[in-house]
Structure formats: C-alpha cells, structure tokens
Amino acid sequence: MSIKVANAPVNFGIDRAGGGAPSPDLLLDGLAEAGYEGIDSGPIGYLGTGGGLLDRLARTGMGLAGGQVDLRYDDEDACPP
C-alpha cells in the first residue's frame, strides 16, 4: 500500500497584507526542488485558473492537494448571509 501525506496551505503567506508574495512560478519551482509533489491553491487565482493552472502545475510536476475559498466574514457584500 502506498500512502501520500499532504500539508496545506503551502503558500508562504502569499495572501498577507502588504504584498511581497513570491511569483507563482518561483513558489512552485522552490517547492518542487524541495521534493514536494502537491500544493494548496492559495488565494483564488494566485496559481492561475483553468488551463493556465493546469499548465503551471504540469510544468513542475505538482499536483493540487487542496484549495480554498476566501470568505471575508467582516465584509457583508463579499459574504452575504
């Protein structure tokens, strides 16, 4: 039996206030070089969407281990009841 373990999020705080996030390609290259085989999607669109996301993951041999949806509970317009 083969078991794979994933940890998430592996995004190095890319959604923190003030920016300073690494580019998606730099992040994926670093993770692949470190031996990771998958990544959490991080904030919506950070790694790309649709075919762009698939191409970016394929280029580094990474799989998508998880995702997230930003729900800003303090913003009623973004997260209506």
Is the pTM value of this prediction over 0.85?
no
> Greater confidence, 3 or 54?
54
- 59: Cβ contacts below 8 Å, ≥ 6 apart: 28
Encode pLDDT of 38-51 as tens digits. 888 887 788 899 99
d(CA 54, CA 64): 9
Sign, Cα dihedral of 70, 74, 78, 81: positive
In tens, the pLDDT along 23-81 reads 889 989 988 898 888 888 887 788 899 999 999 999 999 998 877 777 777 777 776 66
